[in-house]
A and B are shown apart, each in its own frame.
Chain A
Amino acid sequence: MTPARRTSALKGGALLVVVVLALLVPVFAPDPATTNIAVFTTMYVGLATAWNIMGGYTGYISLGHAAFFGFGSYALGLLLAHLGIAAGYTPFLFVPVAGILTVVIALAIGWIALRTRAATFVIVTIACMFLLQLLAENLVSLTGGGSGLSFPVPTWSGDFFNTPYYYAMLVLALVGLAVSAGIRRSKFGLGLLAIRDDEDKALAVGVPARGFKLTAFVISAALVGMIGAVYGYYVTYIYPQFVIDPLVGISMVLMVFLGGLGTLWGPVVGALILEPAQLWLSYNFGASRLYLVFYAAVFLVVILLLPRGIVPSVTDLVVRWRHGSTAGPTGGSSETREALAAPGVRSP
C-alpha cells in the first residue's frame, strides 16, 4: 500500500471505531451522570460542527448562533403544545420540522446580516440574536414570555431517561459532520473557502458569493435549530434568556477556535474537551470564585500559543516530526493537508 492509501484506510478505520464507540456510550456507561454529560457534549459537538460550516469555511464569524438554538427550541416546544403531542418518542419526529422553521428565520436574518462583512457582520449577528430574545420575551401570548415554556415530560425512568436524547444528539452531530465533510469535497465548499480567502477575488472569478454564503449560513442555522429543539425537550423547560443565551453562541465559537477553525475535526475536538471540562469543573470546583480567572488565563495562553487551534497545530507537529524522522513527503493526516491547503486554495 502506498502511504497515502494506508493513511486513508487508517482514517476510515478510525472513523468507524469512533462512531461505534459513540453509539455504545450508553451501554458502557449507563449511569445517568455520565449519559447527561454525554448528551451535552454531543450537543456541542453538533453545534460546533454546524457553526464551523459557516464560520470556519467562509470566515464569517457569527456570535449570534444562539438565536437559532433558541428559535429551534421554541419552535419544537410550541409545535408540541399546539398540536397536543404527548411526551415519548413522537416529539423527536418533529425535530426536523423545527429545523425547517429555523431555515425560514435564518433566511431572513442571513439576508440582512450578509449585506455586511467582517466586524460589522459579527455585531449584526449579535443584534439579531437580541432581537429574537426580545421577541421571545415580549410576545407573551405566543411564547409565554418571562414565564418560560414547558415541554411535555416523558415518564421514562431516571436511569434510561437520557439515552434517547443522547442518540438524538448523536444523530444530529453525525449528520452535521457528514454535511461538513460533504461540503469540503464539493465545488460549493471550494467556493466558500475562496470567499474566506478573498471575497472580492472570488466574486471576480465567478463564485456566486451571496448565494453561497447564504446557503452555508442557512445549513449551519438549521442544524443548530434542530439541536436546540432536542435540548429544549431534554431540559423540559425553556426561558428566553436561558436558550437564546449569548454564551451558548460564544461557546460553540470557542470550541471551534480551540479545535481548529475551518477543519473537519477541530470543532469535534474542541467540544469534546471544553464541554465536559466545564460541566465537571463547575460541579466540583464551582464554589471557588477564582475559577473564572483561571479559565480566562488558560484560554489566553491557548490563543496566544496555539492561534490556529489544536488540530492544525498538533498535526503540524506530527508532520514536522515525521518529516524529520522518515523524510516521507506524504506524511501527516489529510487534516493537516486540508488545514494547510485551505488558506491557499484556488478559486474554481
Chain B
Amino acid sequence: MRRPVLTTVTSILTVSALGLTACGSTGGGKGATAQAGTPITIGVSVSLTGDFSGDGKALVQGYDLWAQDENAKGGLLGHKVTMKYVDDASSTQQVVTNYQNLITQDKVALVFGPFSSLLTIPASTVTNRFGYAFPEPAGGGPSVFTRGINSLFFVQPAAVEDNLVSFTQWVLSLPASQRPATAAYATEDDPFTQPQVDRARALLEAAGVKTLSYKVYPAEATDWTPLAQQVISANADVVILGTQEPDGVAFIKAFQQQQYNPKALIETAGPDQGADFSGKVGVANTAGVMVPAGWYASAKTSGNAKFVTEFTAKYGGAPGDISGDAAEAYSVGQVVDQAATKANSIANSALITALHNGTYQTVQGPMAFDATGKPNGATFLVQWQNGTPVPVYPAAAAIAQPLYPKPNFGS
C-alpha cells in the first residue's frame, strides 16, 4: 500500500514550452473578490492518480453534485460556480504546487480540500498564507489542528480520533451480563486509523475491558494473514481494527478462513464502502460487522434525501453504494453556501469569520467548528444487517437494534 507517485519521470516533449509558460502571470490575487453575479471558480487539488485516487474520484463526484445543485438555485450568493480540479498524484510536492497555482495563477475565488490528512496539512499552510478559507472534507488527524491555522474547517461530524467513541459508548451501555470483558486491537500505523483505535482502547480499558492483544502494523503491508492470526489467537470478545478498505476486507476473509467469530467486530474503514465492501467479502459475511460513520444513505439530515436521489440519478448505483467521501465533499459545499449567506459575502475573510460562529446543517448532520477548525459532533455507529449498513447507535439516530453477539460468518 505504498504510495505510488506516478509522475516522477520525464517529459521531453514539453521541454521548451515549460519553464516560462508555466509561469508568466503577474501579481498574486488576494482572494480575488468577484463582482456580484459574476461566475466564480472553486479550485480543488484531488488525487486522481496514486494511492488515494479511489477517494479522489468520490470527492469529485460530491463536489460536482453540489456545484450542480448550487447553480440550479442561482449560484453561490448569485455567482455561478465552476469547479476546477487538478491532480496531486497523492504527493506533498504537487499539492503545495497545486494550491499556489490555483490561487495565484488561476485566481480561483475559493478553495476546497483534498483527500487525507497527509495532503491537507501542507495544503492548509499554503491556503492560510493567502488568506483563503479552507473547508476540507477528509483531513481530520490530530496534527491537522495543532498548527495554529485558523482558516481550516474539517467538515465531518467529529475529529478522527473521536470516531470510535460512539462504539465504545454502545459497548459500555450493554447490560453487565452481556458486556464484553476482553478486547483485541490491531491498527495500521496511519494518522487516520491509529488515533481512533488508541482512543477506543483508552476508553474501554478505563471501563474495565481487558486488552488481550494490541498490534500496530505498517501501512504498506499487503498480506495481513499473519496479523489476523494474532488477533484470532487472542480470542477476545470484541475486535477493534484500525483498517482502510483493503486490510478491512482481508481481516474479515482471514477470520472467515479460520472460522473465528468475535462477539463484536468494528473496523475504522472498509465496511463504509457500501456495495464495494459487500462484493469483496461476500454479502453473507457482512452480517454484524460495524463501522463508525458520519453519514449514511437513509439519514434524515439536511438535504440528504435530495443528495441521495440526485447522486444515484447522476452516477447510477444504489443509495448503499454511495461513498462517504462523496457525502463529505457535498457537505463542504453546503457549509460554504450557508456561511456565504450568513456573511452575505463570498470574500474569504468573511467566510472564515462566519464559519467560526454558529451551526451549519449538512447531509452529515449539524456541525460547528472550534477555533482550530475541529468539529464538535459525534459519529454514528453503523452495522451491516441483511446486506445493508444501518445506523444502530445512538438510539436517537438508530433505525435498527444492534445485533449482538455478531452472527457467524457465512450465515
Contacts and interface: CB of A to CB of B under 8 A. Distances in A.
Do A and B come into direct contact in the complex, CB within 8 Å?
Answer: yes
Interface of A: 29-34, 36-37, 40-41, 134, 137-138, 144-148, 150, 153, 156-159, 161-162, 234-239, 241-242, 245, 247-248, 250-251, 254, 258, 272-274, 276-284, 286-287, 289, 291-292, 294-296, 298-299, 302
Contact of A37 (B97, B190, B220): B97
B11 A277 contact: yes
B338 interface: no
Contacts of A272: 19
A143 B220 CA distance: 18
Closest 5 CB pairs of A and B: A286-B87, A34-B23, A158-B130, A247-B8, A33-B105
A38 B155 CA distance: 34
Interface in B205-226: 218-220
> Is chain B's binding surface mostly helix, strand, loop or mixed?
loop
A153 B129 CA distance: 10
A242 B121 contact: no
Contacts of B130: 158
Best-surrounded residue of B13, B100, B118, B141 (most CB of chain A within 10 A):
B100
Contacts of A280: 14, 18, 21-22
Interface string B70-114: 000000000000000111110111101110110111000000000
A241 B3 contact: yes
Contacts of A302: 10, 12
Contacts of B88: 282, 286
B281 interface: no
B104 A158 contact: yes
> Is chain A's binding surface mostly helix, strand, loop or mixed?
helix
20 contacts: A31-B25, A31-B104, A32-B28, A41-B19, A150-B143, A158-B131, A159-B28, A235-B92, A235-B96, A236-B121, A236-B122, A241-B2, A247-B5, A258-B10, A277-B15, A281-B11, A283-B97, A289-B49, A292-B49, A302-B12
B11 A287 contact: no
B48 interface: yes
A36 B48 contact: no
Given A137-B189, A148-B121, A277-B11, A31 B6 contact: no
B27 interface: yes
B13 A298 contact: yes
B194 interface: yes
Contacts of A283: 22, 86-87, 94, 97-98, 101
Nearest to A277: B11
Nearest to B129: A158
Best-surrounded residue of B11, B24, B130 (most CB of chain A within 10 A):
B11
A31 B189 CA distance: 39
Contacts of A250: 8
Given A31-B25, A34-B22, A302-B10, A273 B15 contact: yes
B386 to A, nearest CB: 36
A254 B23 contact: no
A273 B14 CA distance: 8
Best-surrounded residue of A146, A148, A239, A287 (most CB of chain B within 10 A):
A146
B263 to A, nearest CB: 30
A282 B19 contact: no
Contacts of A156: 129
A34 B257 CA distance: 55
B219 A146 contact: yes
Interface in B142-176: 142-143, 146-148
A170 to B, nearest CB: 15
A135 to B, nearest CB: 12
